[in-house]
Amino acid sequence: MNHYKHNEDLVFTYPEEWTGRYNDGLIEFYNDQDGLGALQFSIFYPPPNEEVDLAAWLEEMLEINAKDYAVLADQRYARFQYDNKNESC
């Protein structure tokens, strides 16, 4: 397994055969051969000294493109769970 670390906040392991890259706030990992196991993170940095409701921001972005999702949030992170069994992402 390989290890990925983005700043001090995001750390995880991923399979040796996966390709990873970071480009303009988007972190993505996937199997180059078949595309299976895709993992993607979008990094959002709020403007300095400005409070942002990450869950509300994520809800706004998702309601345009997705159905059947749930937004989960804590003090520092917002994420969503999405079931795409019946539709494409």
Q: Which residues contact 3 (CB under 8 A, 6 or more apart)?
A: 11, 12, 13
More reliable by pLDDT, 19 or 34: 19
Dump pLDDT digits (tens) for 21-74. Answer: 888 878 888 888 887 767 888 777 778 888 888 888 887 877 766 667 778 787
Distance CA 27, CA 40 (A): 6
Lowest-confidence region among 4-8, 30-34, 68-72, 84-88? 84-88
Angle at 59 (CA atoms; ends 35, 25), nearest 5 degrees:
50
pLDDT at 9: 77
Distance CA 51, CA 48 (A): 9
Distance CA 78, CA 72 (A): 6
Distance CA 84, CA 89 (A): 7
pLDDT at 20: 87
More reliable by pLDDT, 15 or 65: 15
Residue showing tokens 């995880």? 12
- Contact between 52 and 68 under an 8 Å Cβ cutoff? The reply is no
pLDDT at 89: 46
